[in-house]
């Protein structure tokens, strides 16, 4: 396939030692990386945001409900403590005081507090001892219940969770910091839920004062965590949390899938390029190497001068063949670098002048096949691409159109303006066309249409790849529309100069 940067006959000169070897792997996925990276990044950000928002909402809902319960408890226990006096508490010391009317009166008032708010699980009075971590019971709201009422399990016995503590019984407050001092100083609540023999509860405490202002004991009110769970569920349902986490999980799997799919396509592309390179070596390089070997063998038999003159053109043809393949590979390897360096020239390139020079170059070659180039240009636009690069791009497209068109065909080159910032160039032919299955990868390295060998047996599959690299790195776009047997149109859109 003709090269992009030169249309001169291949040189028969052997590559010098200063020539750059083709030592780097060649990839052709640069045109797909940015959208893929952008999509993967967006998916990762969305997934992370969903998970973080779910966790924050769940945590904030729990904190809000806990604050609401604590506020309710503080207000309730503060008001309820006003129903008791320190002198009444001082009259109840141990189990022997249970027959006293004051004891019964204390219990009934505690029970009334429980009945007034169905969220209260228990209410009790306690006093401190010489040991800050040990308190003693004064009265419990359920102390006057019958045995049957206390036996909630109905098994005829009272277990540790059913038995009501009697006055004077000790309570270990080691794991309840608020009961070891703060509760006797002001209205407080537990920092978190406490687990004891009565279940998982959060409690509020308020001191009960004597008439002289000293503290005789505390009132404690417990709220079971069922209210906490119900309020949390109402504010932020578990189903919603699971849904958000599920969305985050799906997003994570999607990101993983994108990466795996990208890796699969990259490996597939590398395999295609490896196969293309192998095919190029076997098909294109094999024949001239065979020709050279045959001629070298003939030289070993000491040929005459006439035989040498006869073999010399064949040797030149073989070396020129190899040189052409080497040059095509070298151009493909350098195309990206050249385009990146020259894709933004300091001055614009007028297309009318380029097309005039191009027509003069290709007309003799087209005439050999009885073909003609029809050109139509709107106005005199300039493009922001180096002169040699745009000349090479158009020469390659015309050479392809000629190679895959029959004798006597016409090739059309049309230049139009697209708005104020773009120039569109179309090269059309009525040749063999490109099969639909090949269009998707026609700009990849070593890629030729599956029907290309019928029209052009010799080709490297690098021409359109180089054209694509030059155009895209010059901030342009290139596309192909084709119907097999009907012809092909290559459209190049470049920024105006």
pLDDT given at position 231: 57
Who contacts 37 (Cβ-Cβ below 8 Å, separation ≥6)?
none
pLDDT of residue 425 exceeding 70:
yes
pLDDT for residue 45 is more than 80: no
Alpha carbon distances (Å) from 272 to 277, 283, 406, 441, 470? 8, 16, 30, 10, 22
Q: Is the pLDDT at 345 greater than 60, yes or no?
A: no
Across the range 475-492, mean pLDDT stands at 89
CA distances from 222 to 195, 236, 237, 399, 423 (A): 11, 24, 25, 91, 80
Domain ranges of the chain: 30-42+257-495, 82-235
| pLDDT reported for residue 219 | 95
Q: Which of 139-143, 223-227, 404-408 has the lowest mean pLDDT?
A: 223-227
Q: What is the pLDDT of residue 260?
A: 77
Q: How many Å apart are CA 469 and CA 385, to the nearest integer?
A: 13
- Spell out a b/e string for 232-246, using b for 16 or more CB atoms within 10 Å of the CB, else e: beeebeeeebeebee
Q: State residue 24's pLDDT score.
A: 38
Answer for the pair 138, 89: CB distance below 8 angstroms, yes or no: yes
Span of 280-284, 372-376, 421-425 with lowest mean pLDDT: 280-284
Confidence at residue 414, expressed as pLDDT on a 0 to 100 scale:
92
Q: Inform me whether the pLDDT recorded for 158 exceeds 50.
A: yes
Asked if 463 and 4 count as a contact pair (C-beta separation under 8 A), the reply is: yes
The pLDDT-based confidence of 22 (bands split at 50, 70, 90) is very low
Q: Which of 366, 347, 345, 348 is nearest to 413 (CA)?
A: 366
Listed range (88-97, 225-234, 265-274, 303-312) with the worst mean pLDDT = 225-234
The pTM assigned to this predicted structure is 0.41
Instruction: For the chain, give the mean pLDDT.
Output: 75
Weakest-pLDDT range from 170-184, 320-334, 349-363, 439-453: 320-334
Residues 126/162, Cβ–Cβ less than 8 Å: no
Percentage of the chain beyond pLDDT 70 is 66
* Predicted pLDDT at 233: 53
Pick from 194, 247, 249, 258: nearest CA to 220: 194
Place domain 82-235 in its CATH homologous superfamily. PAS domain (3.30.450.20)
Q: Is the pLDDT of residue 366 over 80?
A: yes
- pLDDT of 211 strictly over 90: yes
Question: What is the fold of 30-42+257-495?
Answer: Heat Shock Protein 90 (3.30.565)
């Amino acid at each position: 396939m003709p090269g992009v940067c030169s249309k001169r006959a291949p040189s028969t000169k052997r590559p010098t030692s200063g020539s750059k070897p083709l030592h780097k792997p060649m990839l052709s996925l640069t045109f797909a990386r940015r959208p893929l990276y952008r999509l993967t990044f967006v998916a990762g950000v969305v997934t992370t945001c969903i998970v973080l928002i779910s966790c924050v909402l769940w945590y904030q809902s729990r904190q809000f409900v806990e604050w609401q319960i604590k506020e309710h408890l503080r207000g309730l226990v503060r008001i309820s403590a006003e129903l008791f006096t320190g002198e009444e508490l001082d009259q109840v010391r141990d189990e022997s005081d249970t027959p006293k009317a004051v004891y019964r009166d204390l219990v009934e008032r505690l029970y009334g507090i429980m009945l007034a708010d169905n969220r209260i699980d228990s209410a009790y009075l306690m006093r401190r001892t010489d040991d800050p971590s040990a308190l003693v019971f004064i009265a419990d709201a359920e102390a006057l219940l019958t045995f049957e009422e206390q036996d909630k399990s109905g098994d005829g016995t009272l277990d540790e969770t059913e038995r009501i503590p009697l006055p004077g019984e000790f309570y270990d407050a080691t794991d309840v910091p608020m009961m070891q001092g703060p509760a006797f100083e002001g209205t407080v609540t537990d920092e978190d839920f406490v687990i004891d023999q009565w279940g998982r509860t959060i409690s509020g405490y308020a001191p009960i004062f004597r008439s002289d202002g000293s503290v005789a004991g505390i009132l404690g009110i417990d709220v079971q965590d069922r209210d906490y769970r119900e309020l949390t569920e109402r504010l932020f349902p578990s189903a919603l949390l699971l849904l958000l986490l599920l969305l985050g999980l799906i997003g994570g799997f999607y990101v993983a899938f994108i990466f795996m799919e990208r890796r699969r396509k990259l490996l597939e592309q590398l395999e295609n390029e490896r196969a293309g390179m192998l095919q190029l070596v076997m098909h294109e390089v094999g024949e001239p190497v065979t020709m050279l070997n045959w001629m070298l063998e003939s030289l070993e038999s000491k040929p005459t001068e006439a035989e040498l003159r006869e073999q010399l053109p064949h040797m030149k043809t073989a070396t020129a063949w190899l040189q052409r393949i080497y040059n095509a590979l070298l151009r493909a390897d350098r195309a990206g670098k050249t385009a990146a360096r020259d894709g933004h020239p300091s001055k614009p390139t007028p297309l009318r002048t380029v097309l005039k020079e191009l027509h003069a170059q290709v007309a003799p070659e087209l005439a050999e096949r009885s073909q003609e180039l029809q050109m139509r240009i709107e106005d005199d636009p300039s493009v922001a691409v180096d002169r040699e690069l745009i000349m090479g791009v158009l020469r390659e497209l015309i050479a392809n159109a000629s190679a895959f068109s029959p004798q006597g065909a016409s090739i059309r080159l049309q230049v139009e303006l697209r708005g104020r910032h773009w120039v569109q160039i179309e090269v059309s032919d009525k040749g063999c066309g490109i099969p639909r299955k090949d269009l998707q990868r026609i700009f990849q390295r070593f890629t030729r249409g599956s029907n290309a060998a019928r029209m052009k047996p010799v080709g490297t599959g690098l021409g359109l790849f180089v054209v694509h690299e030059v155009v895209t790195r010059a901030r342009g776009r290139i596309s192909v529309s084709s119907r097999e047997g009907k012809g092909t149109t290559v459209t190049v859109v470049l920024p105006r100069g």
